[in-house]
Amino acid sequence: MPKITLIGAGSVVFAKNILSDCLSYPELSGGSYFLFDIDEGRLRTAEKMAHQVAAAWKAKPNIVATTDPEVALEGADYAVNMIQVGGYEPCTVTDFEIPKKYGLRQTIGDTLGIGGIFRALRTIPVMLEYAAIMEEVCPDVTFLNYVNPMAMNTWAMLEATDITTIGLCHSVQGSYQHLCHAIGVNPAEVNYTCAGINHMAFYLTLEHKGEDLYPRIMEKVASREYYPDWDRVRLDMMLRIGYYITESSEHFSEYGPWYIKRDRPDLIERYNIPLDEYPRRCVAQNASWAGMAAELEAGKGFDSLQRSSEYGSRIIHAMETGEPTVIHGNVLNYGLIDNLPEGCCVEVPCLIDANGIQPIKVGPLPPHLAAMIRTNINVQELTVRAALENVKEYVYHAAMLDPHTGAELSLDQVWALVDDMFAAHGDWIPLFQECDCTCDGDCDDDCECECHDEARQHCCGH
């Protein structure tokens, strides 16, 4: 039976889903599940939750909770990453409130834009620290990353470490379903092809028993017979480009220069764009945490567990049993999508079986979709390069080239905003620190100079 480690198990609701999914498979029900978190209080709640989930599935796993990452990862076959670095306070608040002073508004701020850039800069170093541990204690582990910004974090892990990594989201397998319901088709009977980058992948085909569903969907939406308030942005874009986008309207509205403009409140109203949506969700979740934790510890909410649509357990089950499954995952683009940059992080179909993760070639995307995606990849690449090469200037260039930021701010404002973001984040971003190092970058992995950190990078930029 495999050893599965949950990194950030204090994210109790999501950890519950992953554990429940895994334990729903008889082949995984007797495995070892190590819960790791730096928050001891949340970890204890997660541990109690895990035992409740096991009881609900009548499973007999070995459950261990620890605040020691080496204990959690020693000999792990799979590691599921669900951390958030910096939390709502102070970091999410910083991501939203500092840009707001410049008139730059966001909805979610976890994937692209100034919020996504700085979320990556504080997350990638932490992920690389865990990778360094994994390379020592479980070098053959399969690392399942659920942490945003998905493309940047996964790209950094795949490029900078030897750990087998795949990035996972839940938008591909769920986003198309409401369109099927709108035209009276069972989503379970629909075949689709989907590819792009995380949060900006496109359903290239949507077919039901050989019928292309797009004409019927387009007719319903164009006539406004089907035009729900919560999805106006994506549906508007679908009518313009001919394809439906995987991630939600509130997400997609901040990935381009078109929908959020400080001098166009009419657009916010027209497309029903929920500015500051992610902070609102965080406040609501924090407010409900105490009650939720009490219910979990009391065993409430475990009566009718069902396997979710998350890919994590399906990957583990397929690799352990050899029973193949196809999921959509985030991997590096080597021969997968012809008209996106080589080596960038793409979201494509992947065959999973006893041979592991096998990405499937998609070929070229329609040229206008590839062009739109490349505007986002520019930002992702510069942010990853900044984090991996300790080049602070690339952060300014990433912000400058971000479609939404560049459309709203002058270059002087972009530079001032980035300066303010660095100042507000302080030690949450360990990169780019200045020091009096005398090694001049001539040292190797065994270097003991003070600026040579655990992620084997020179924090001073040498």
Does 458 participate in catalysis according to the annotation? no
For residue 461, the enclosing domain spans 433-462
In this structure, is residue 438 part of a structural domain? yes
pLDDT surpassing 80 at residue 461: no
The proportion of the chain whose per-residue pLDDT surpasses 90, expressed as a percent, equals: 90
* 429-445 mean pLDDT: 69
Calpha distance 241→235 (Å, rounded): 10
Peptide bond before 61: cis, by omega within 30 degrees of 0? Answer: no
**Which residues fall within 8 angstroms of residue 218, CB to CB, at 6 or more apart?**
238, 239
Peptide bond before 149: cis, by omega within 30 degrees of 0? Answer: yes
Residue among 147, 156, 150 at smallest CA distance from 199: 150
Residue among 201, 185, 226, 155 at smallest CA distance from 347: 201
Quote the DSSP letter at residue 240.
Answer: H
In this structure, is residue 455 part of a structural domain? yes
**pLDDT, tens digit, 9 for 90 and up, residues 233-290:** 999 999 999 999 999 999 999 999 999 999 999 999 999 999 999 999 999 999 999 8
Calpha distance 80→189 (Å, rounded): 30
The answer to whether the beta carbons of residues 351 and 360 sit under 8 Å apart is yes
Calpha distance 333→195 (Å, rounded): 11
In this structure, is residue 7 part of a structural domain? no
Query: What pLDDT shows up at residue 454?
Result: 46
Calpha distance 227→223 (Å, rounded): 9
The answer to whether the beta carbons of residues 106 and 35 sit under 8 Å apart is no
The answer to whether the beta carbons of residues 397 and 415 sit under 8 Å apart is no
CA dihedral 102, 105, 106, 111 (to 10 degrees): -40
431-443 CB burial, b ≥16 within 10 A, e <16:
bbeeeebeeeeee
User: Greater confidence, 346 or 454?
Assistant: 346
Q: Between 113-137 and 150-160, two packed helices, what is the crossing angle to 10 degrees?
A: 30
Left (φ > 0), alpha (ψ -120 to 50) or beta: where does 458 sit?
A: beta
**pLDDT, tens digit, 9 for 90 and up, residues 357-367:** 999 999 999 99
pLDDT band at 297 (very low <50, low <70, confident <90, very high): confident
Question: What SS3 state is found at 308?
Answer: coil
**pLDDT, tens digit, 9 for 90 and up, residues 32-78:** 999 999 999 999 999 999 999 999 999 999 999 999 999 999 999 99
Task: Give the C-alpha distances (Å, rounded to integers) separating 252 from 270, 339, 433.
Answer: 15, 21, 33
pLDDT surpassing 60 at residue 451: no
Query: What pLDDT shows up at residue 459?
Result: 47
Query: What pLDDT shows up at residue 456?
Result: 43
**Which residues fall within 8 angstroms of residue 121, CB to CB, at 6 or more apart?**
383, 386, 387, 395, 425, 429, 431
In this structure, is residue 374 part of a structural domain? no
Query: What pLDDT shows up at residue 433?
Result: 81
The proportion of the chain whose per-residue pLDDT surpasses 70, expressed as a percent, equals: 94
pLDDT surpassing 70 at residue 436: no
* 384-408 mean pLDDT: 98
**pLDDT, tens digit, 9 for 90 and up, residues 439-449:** 655 566 566 66
Residues listed for the chain: 462
**pLDDT, tens digit, 9 for 90 and up, residues 136-162:** 999 999 999 999 999 999 999 999 999
Calpha distance 10→46 (Å, rounded): 6
Pair of tokens at residue 231: 């999805």
pLDDT surpassing 80 at residue 107: yes
Rounded to 5 degrees, φ, ψ at 10 are: -65, -15
Calpha distance 66→406 (Å, rounded): 44
Query: What pLDDT shows up at residue 292?
Result: 87
* 196-200 mean pLDDT: 98
Per DSSP bridges, beta strands 356-359 and 345-353 are antiparallel
**Greatest alpha-carbon span in the chain:** 69
pLDDT band at 193 (very low <50, low <70, confident <90, very high): very high
* 312-317 mean pLDDT: 98
Query: What pLDDT shows up at residue 447?
Result: 63
In this structure, is residue 460 part of a structural domain? yes
Query: What pLDDT shows up at residue 212?
Result: 98
**Which residues fall within 8 angstroms of residue 353, CB to CB, at 6 or more apart?**
318, 319, 322, 323, 324, 325
Q: How far is CA 313 from the centre of its chain?
A: 17
Pair of tokens at residue 365: 């995307």
In this structure, is residue 127 part of a structural domain? no
N- to C-terminal Cα distance for the chain? Answer: 44
State the total domains in the chain. Answer: 1
In this structure, is residue 425 part of a structural domain? no
Calpha distance 198→171 (Å, rounded): 9
**pLDDT, tens digit, 9 for 90 and up, residues 109-137:** 999 999 999 999 999 999 999 999 999 99
In this structure, is residue 406 part of a structural domain? no
pLDDT surpassing 60 at residue 462: no
Task: Give the C-alpha distances (Å, rounded to integers) separating 460 from 123, 387, 428, 438, 453.
Answer: 18, 12, 15, 11, 10
The answer to whether the beta carbons of residues 158 and 331 sit under 8 Å apart is yes
Catalytic residue among 170, 178, 368, 404: 170
